Amino acid sequence: MTVRTEVADGVALVTLDRPERHNAIDLDTAGRLAATWRSFRFDDAVRAVVLTGAGGRAFCTGVDRDADVPQPSSPYSLDDPLLRIGPKANDLWKPVIAAVDGMACGGAFYLLGEAEFLIASENATFFDPHTTYGMVSAYESILMAQRMPLGEIARMTLMGTAERLGAARAYEIGLVSELTPPGAAAEVALRRAAVLAAQPTAPVQGTVRALWAAKEAARAPALAHAPHLIALGNLPPDDQARLFAARRRDGGGKGGREDRPPVR
């Protein structure tokens, strides 16, 4: 199973379970995430959710580069397998806490952008590799611009793989609401979720919906631009693949030591 779910005392722990791939999301994982959120809508035993990644090295590193995602030839159409992986995209208004250990990058922001708040361990890092590999950061930038200062999200997305946003800085700017020792983010998040689950569920869900209503006015029109920006700005897939392969030859990726960029 690429997505594990455990429920106890009103709290669901959802774990991305592909640690050998840094919890990257393939099509199967994307489908399981969407199905999980939809199932929680009908499960009164679930009143709050913690989302995390297995293995400790990464929360999630976005879409799996080996996933085959066929695209229509029309520039007016874009099939993005990550568009439906988040709770809000599946009409779930129960509170979701993201517990981040290790790397969170690229497509992980589809998930982080739809959580109510983030708890991160001190070894967490955030970055967006899109521009480095010839891709537009559209959905990721829009989602994270809802919860980060504009200058911070601009620097992170435009710098690509050249630097990473560290947990301490993420806490300073409000992206992360609480820091924990390494490996403890999920444990702390479960304790916070237990508090949420103990509150009357209808007022909690209504409050979640109200908070998101305040953001929707800017978010929805911005997201409507995303597929066109991607179609216009992305390099051809073969060029993207060459850029990614060059990174691996330099020592990163599978089977080699990853050259660590500076953490800000």
Question: Along the 264 residues of the chain, how does pLDDT read in single tens digits?
Answer: 899 999 999 999 999 999 999 999 999 999 999 999 999 999 999 999 999 999 999 999 999 988 777 777 776 677 788 999 999 999 999 999 999 999 999 999 999 999 999 999 999 999 999 999 999 999 999 999 989 999 999 999 999 999 999 999 999 999 999 999 999 999 999 999 999 999 999 999 999 999 998 887 777 788 888 887 888 888 888 898 898 888 755 433 333 345 678 899
Structure tokens at 198: 């103990």
**Could you tell me the pTM of the whole model?**
0.89
Q: What is the pLDDT of residue 75?
A: 66
Q: What are phi and psi of 3, to 5 degrees?
A: -135, 120
- The CA angle 85-195-17, to the nearest 5 degrees, is 35
> Nearest to residue 222, comparing CAs of 81, 113, 71?
113
- The CA angle 46-12-48, to the nearest 5 degrees, is 55
Structure tokens at 97: 């806490």
Give residue limits of the domains in the chain.
1-64+80-182+207-257
Q: What is the pLDDT of residue 254?
A: 38
Q: What is the pLDDT of residue 259?
A: 65
Residue 124 near residue 101 (C-beta atoms within 8 A):
yes
Structure tokens at 8: 């106890």
Topology (CATH level 3) of domain 1-64+80-182+207-257:
2-enoyl-CoA Hydratase; Chain A, domain 1 (3.90.226)
Buried b (16+ CB within 10 A) or exposed e, 240-250: beeebeebeee
Question: What's the length of the chain?
Answer: 264
Q: What is the pLDDT of residue 256?
A: 37
Give me the amino acid identity at 255. Answer: G
Structure tokens at 41: 């809508």
Q: Concatenated DSSP letters for 53-118?
A: ESSSSEEE-SB-TT------S-TT----TTTT-STGGGT--S-EEEEE-SEEETTHHHHHTTSSEE
